[in-house]
């Protein structure tokens, strides 16, 4: 019994360890806005208690959400792929013009602290251009953001680093 | 054994490096130090000696390292001198925390230098600088979540200046569950230790959405005052626990206990784990961490559900109807009813509608029509953003009453006086001191009450295994069910005015409504099975009702309840009860209970009791 358990454990782990290339199915890259969350809340003595995990990942994903990191996609050591798991929050924050996910987006885009307020207001203004459909994915959001930044004299420098 | 070790030491140290000779007295002396004990997760065995909580062969280098800290230490020192060519498999790469500590203690200046590329990359990616203890608070409609969970967040150097904790890692310890065991099996195996426990490191963002959105629990973030060095020490040790299996038990060797151990590795002067010999309830561990002076700052993140309710709170009935209409059909954005609203009210209504849409989508597969509606609402929000939500911080969960409760009561039943002595292992009932707990949630585990009537006549009054009640108010936007389950032994009216001890299981479901600011009304249909010696059959089923009001007033919580059980054998048992708590201090309460019971077996009985409750430890 124990041996079987161990076997499956390592199987799960090795799947996790295999990073997917951007666009690969398992890293969630290419998910559309409002992608459903995994799992359902269990309201009795289930996962609410003591925290359970169906897997035992061990990091090396926070920057990339399980996707492999390409140097060309990173800014200041952080990959904007990290935004992958925050698309819903980002869309909400950008619609309103403020919020933690929007700040995080500015940081991974390499926007300096003094330009972040400007970044928030410009992306808020162009929200409908950046999130242009309900089916938009992270990659398109990023491309659209760069296009918007290019049109702003103060922020254009952050769109050319790629 | 020793021979094997020395052979190993010889064989690995032959080429260049020689492991220093470590005599057994010195090894024993080092192995007795708390830090080595912490690194090996050892505890004093019940019959003397040591045992490790780690239940995994690969964590130990000595044959019986799980029981012999000194042998494990000797074996580790020997392994540190293995050829550097082992690379990532080298003990120095697998056990960086042990390596550092032994190097310092034994001044090992001549260690081989393997290239630990995997560990280096991992550590650089985590980039530990500071840490926060994360506590997802109880969710009203899931009283079992009162036991809660704790995890750690590891922040980088610039996390705070940039406000990017969404990019941090979380360290989580949980039972590793295969496949799809159902809740009951999970609870049982969790109690019995049927699952292995494992550490995992995952994006904090994942845990946030799990708790705030999926489970609708508020999150408390306790920023710890660990130095970068202390944080690094802890993360270093976490690497040693990668894929390592622990014994896992719900009540003691759970997530909270393991995190306390990690904090002790971070700051060896702390003594946290010894405070929890029996059970480690997450709120208690938060208390312990706070009392030890580790908490620098507390931050509150409301759940998505709370945000939705806060947004809808100032809306009147007509505006709430607009919220429902908008979330069903975004074309309503152009309807005269909506556009007639003042612009700032429109902003609130459409934001509430958006939040309701997302709340409903929770845990579901992506539905294109719903995504389109959400998107349409987002565009409307973009054109007319609402003011930021202001949500008042609720009471700090760790400042609520303690978990274990001693009870001492005096009262009369009809004309007989009695004293009653009780102990409850956990946790909270509807009337208990309310600070830090949601109104309408109850979870009690293991409660024993013993009564002493005049004439020194003793009897077991009740033994509750578990009592769970969840009374969540329904409103225009959300319609949660209320429910309750209970099981154990209790006294009920029997023939000739006797109180008969019966074993029972019962449950119910229904609705709760917010009648006023601090008043809830509830009505539930119930079902019950019991074994009663005065009944002819072995097991008697009953159907019934349970209804009442719960009022949070200046003294404490008051409950007024009516209950009825209609047995298939003809017995009808009904009761009316009143409970008023007087909150004397955080950990002291006085409760007045009055009850009138009716039964076909005997005449109506009255009982009044005044009870002192001491919430202790």
pLDDT, one tens digit per residue, over B381-391 is 999 999 999 99
**What ipTM does the predicted assembly reach?**
0.83
Contact state of A59 with B186 under an 8 Å Cβ cutoff: no
Give me the pLDDT at residue B142, please. Answer: 65
- Inter-chain contact A45–B187, Cβ cutoff 8 Å? yes
Q: Which value, in Å, is the radius of gyration of the alpha carbons in chain B?
A: 29
Binning pLDDT at 50, 70 and 90, where does residue B182 land? low
CA atoms within 13 A of residue B293's CA, in its CB half-sphere:
4
- How many structural domains comprise chain B? 4
Examine the pLDDT at A54 and tell me if it is beyond 50: no
Domain count, chain A: 1
Q: What is the mean pLDDT of residues A112-136?
A: 95
| pLDDT reading at B110 higher than 80 | yes
* Phi and psi torsions of A64, nearest 5°: -135, -5
What is the structure's pLDDT at B202?
Answer: 83
Residue A30: inside a domain, yes or no? Answer: no
B30 and B169 together in one domain: no
Confidence of residue B233 (pLDDT cuts 50, 70, 90): very high
pTM: 0.83
Q: Is B186 on the interface with A (CB under 8 A)?
A: yes
Confidence of residue A72 (pLDDT cuts 50, 70, 90): very low
**Average pLDDT rounded to a whole number, residues B296-306:** 93
Q: Of A10, A51, A91, which has the smallest distance from its Cβ to B172's Cβ?
A: A51
Residue A49 above 50 pLDDT?
A: no
Same domain assignment for residues B45 and B67: yes
Asked if residue A78 belongs to a domain, the reply is yes
Residue B79 pLDDT grade (very low, low, confident, very high; cuts 50, 70, 90): very high
| B49 pLDDT above the threshold of 90 | no
Q: Is the pLDDT of residue A18 over 90?
A: no
**Cα of B235 to nearest chain A Cα, Å:** 12
* Domain extent at residue B353: 309-383
Say which of B151, B206, B366 has its CB closest to residue A34. Answer: B366
List, as ranges, residues 109-148 from A with C-beta within 8 Å of B: 113, 124, 127-128, 131, 133-135
Q: Are residues B246 and B376 in the same domain?
A: no
Domain end among B240, B273, B301: B301
Q: Which two tokens stand for residue B15?
A: 């080429």
B146 and B58 in a common domain: no
Bridge partners, B445 (sequence order):
B426, B466
Last residue within a domain, chosen from B112, B135, B170: B112
Question: pLDDT tens digits, residue range A94-120?
Answer: 999 999 999 999 998 889 999 999 999
pLDDT of residue B574: 97
Mean predicted confidence (pLDDT) in B590-611: 95
Out of B141, B186, B362, closest to residue A46 by CB: B186
pLDDT confidence tier of residue B188, bands split at 50, 70 and 90: low
pLDDT at B437: 86
Angle at B106 between CA B20 and CA B71, to 5 degrees: 70
pLDDT tier at B559, thresholds 50, 70, 90 = very high
Same domain? For B345 and B418 the reply is no
Burial of B455 (0-12, 13-18, 19+ CB in 10 A): exposed
B314 & B456 share domain:
no
Task: Tell me, yes or no, whether A108 lies in a domain.
Answer: yes
pLDDT-derived band of residue B198, with 50, 70 and 90 as boundaries? confident
Looking at the fold, whether B439 and B584 belong to one and the same domain comes out as yes
- Residue B216: band (very low, low, confident or very high) from pLDDT cuts 50, 70, 90: confident
Look at residue B294 and tell me if it is in a domain. yes
- B284 shares a domain with B163: yes
Q: Which residues of A touch B381 (CB under 8 A)?
A: 92, 95-96
Separation of first and last alpha carbons in chain A: 51
- Among A23-32, B14-23, B62-71, where is mean pLDDT lowest? A23-32
Please indicate, yes or no, whether residues B263 and B324 belong to a single structural domain of this protein. no
Task: Tell me, yes or no, whether B416 and B370 share the same domain.
Answer: no
Q: Are residues B366 and B406 in the same domain?
A: no
Please indicate, yes or no, whether residues B443 and B519 belong to a single structural domain of this protein.
Answer: yes
**Inter-chain contact B164–A35, Cβ cutoff 8 Å?**
no
* Residue at B100 is within a domain: yes
What's the whole-number mean pLDDT along residues B427-447?
Answer: 90
How much is the pLDDT for A39? 40
Tell me whether residue B391 is in a domain.
Answer: no
Residue B117 lies in a domain: no
Nearest chain B residue to A102, by CA? B164
CATH of the domain at B547: 2.40.160.40
Q: How far is B588 from chain A (nearest CA, A)?
A: 27
Picking from B163, B162, B138, B140, the residue whose alpha carbon sits closest to that of residue B148 is B138
Q: Which residues of A touch B283 (CB under 8 A)?
A: none
- Which of B248, B280, B301 is the endpoint of a domain? B301
User: How many beta-carbon pairs below 8 A join chains A and B?
Assistant: 209
Per the listing, tokens 């020395």 go with B6
- Chain B residue numbers with beta carbons less than 8 Å from the beta carbon of A30 are none
Cβ under 8 Å to B: A residues 4-43: 5, 8-10, 13, 32-37, 39-43
Task: Report the alpha-carbon distance of residue B230 to residue B473 in Å, rounded.
Answer: 45
Is B389 part of any domain?
Answer: no
Residue B263 and residue B255: Cα distance in Å, rounded?
Answer: 13
Range of the domain at A94: 69-159
């Amino acid at each position: 019994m124990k041996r079987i358990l161990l076997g499956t454990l390592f199987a799960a782990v090795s799947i996790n360890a295999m990073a997917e290339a951007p666009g690969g199915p398992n890293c969630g890259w290419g998910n559309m806005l409002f992608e459903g969350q995994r799992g359902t809340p269990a309201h009795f003595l289930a996962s609410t208690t003591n925290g359970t995990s169906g897997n035992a990942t061990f990091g090396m994903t926070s920057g990339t959400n399980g996707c492999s990191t390409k140097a060309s996609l990173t800014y200041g050591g952080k990959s904007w792929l990290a935004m992958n798991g925050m698309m819903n929050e980002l869309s909400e924050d950008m619609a309103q013009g403020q919020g933690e996910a929007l700040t995080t987006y500015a940081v991974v885009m390499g926007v300096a602290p003094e330009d972040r307020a400007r970044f928030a207001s410009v992306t808020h203004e162009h929200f409908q251009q950046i999130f242009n459909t309900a089916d938009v994915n992270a990659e398109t959001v990023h491309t659209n953001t760069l296009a918007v930044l290019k049109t702003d004299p103060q922020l254009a420098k952050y769109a050319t680093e790629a | 054994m020793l021979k094997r070790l020395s052979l190993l030491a010889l064989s690995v140290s032959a080429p260049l490096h020689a492991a220093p000779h470590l005599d057994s007295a010195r090894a024993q002396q080092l192995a007795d130090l708390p830090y080595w004990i912490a690194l090996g997760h050892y505890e004093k065995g019940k019959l003397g000696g040591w045992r490790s909580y780690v239940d995994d062969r690969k964590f130990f280098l000595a044959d019986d390292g799980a029981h012999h800290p000194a042998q494990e230490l000797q074996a580790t020192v020997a392994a540190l001198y293995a050829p550097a060519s082992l690379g990532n498999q080298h003990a120095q790469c697998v056990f960086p925390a042990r390596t550092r500590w032994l190097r310092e203690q034994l001044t090992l200046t001549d260690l081989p230098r393997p290239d630990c590329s995997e560990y280096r990359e991992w550590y650089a990616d985590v980039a530990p600088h500071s840490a926060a203890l994360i506590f997802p608070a109880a969710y009203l409609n899931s009283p079992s979540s009162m036991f809660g969970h704790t995890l750690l967040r590891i922040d980088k150097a610039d996390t705070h200046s940039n406000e990017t904790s969404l990019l941090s890692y979380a360290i989580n310890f949980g039972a590793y569950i295969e496949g799809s065991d159902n809740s009951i099996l999970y609870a049982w195996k969790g109690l019995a230790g049927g699952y292995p426990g494992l550490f995992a490191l995952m994006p904090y963002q994942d845990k946030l959405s799990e708790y705030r959105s999926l489970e609708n629990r508020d999150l408390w973030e306790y920023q710890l005052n660990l130095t970068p060095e202390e944080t690094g020490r802890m993360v270093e040790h976490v690497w040693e626990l990668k894929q390592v299996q622990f014994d896992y038990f719900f009540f003691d060797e759970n997530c909270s206990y393991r995190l306390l151990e990690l904090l002790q590795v971070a700051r060896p002067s702390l003594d946290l784990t010894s405070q929890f010999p029996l059970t480690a309830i997450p709120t208690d561990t938060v208390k312990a961490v706070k009392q030890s002076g580790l908490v620098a700052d507390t931050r509150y993140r409301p759940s998505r559900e709370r945000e939705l309710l806060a947004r809808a709170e100032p809306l009147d009935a007509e505006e709430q109807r607009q919220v429902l209409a908008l979330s069903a059909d975004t074309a309503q954005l152009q309807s005269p009813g909506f556009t007639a609203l003042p612009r700032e009210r429109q902003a609130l209504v459409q934001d509430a509608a958006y939040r309701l849409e997302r709340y409903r989508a929770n845990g579901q597969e992506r539905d294109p029509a719903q995504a389109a509606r959400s998107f349409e609402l987002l565009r409307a929000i973009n054109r007319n953003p609402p003011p930021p939500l202001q949500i008042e911080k609720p009471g700090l969960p760790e400042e609520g009453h303690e978990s274990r409760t001693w009870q001492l009561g005096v009262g009369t039943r009809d004309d007989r006086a009695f004293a009653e002595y009780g102990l409850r292992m956990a946790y909270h009932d509807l009337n208990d001191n309310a600070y830090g707990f949601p109104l309408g949630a109850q979870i009690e585990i293991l409660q024993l009450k013993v009564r002493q009537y005049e004439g020194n006549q003793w009897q077991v009054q009740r033994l509750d295994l578990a009592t769970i009640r969840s009374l969540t108010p329904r409103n225009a936007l959300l319609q949660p069910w209320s429910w309750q389950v209970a099981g154990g032994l209790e006294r009920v009216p029997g023939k000739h005015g006797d109180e008969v001890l019966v074993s029972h299981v019962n449950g119910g479901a229904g609705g709760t409504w917010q009648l006023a600011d601090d008043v809830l009304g509830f009505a539930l249909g119930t079902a019950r099975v019991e074994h009663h010696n005065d009944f002819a059959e072995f097991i008697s089923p009953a159907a019934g009702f349970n209804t009442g009001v719960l009022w949070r007033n200046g003294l404490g919580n008051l409950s007024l309840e009516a209950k009825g059980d209609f047995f298939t054998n003809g017995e009808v048992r009904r009761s009316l009860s009143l409970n008023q708590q007087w909150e004397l201090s955080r950990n002291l309460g006085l409760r007045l209970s009055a009850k009138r019971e009716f039964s076909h077996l005997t005449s109506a009985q009255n009982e009044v009791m005044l009870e002192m409750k001491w919430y202790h430890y």
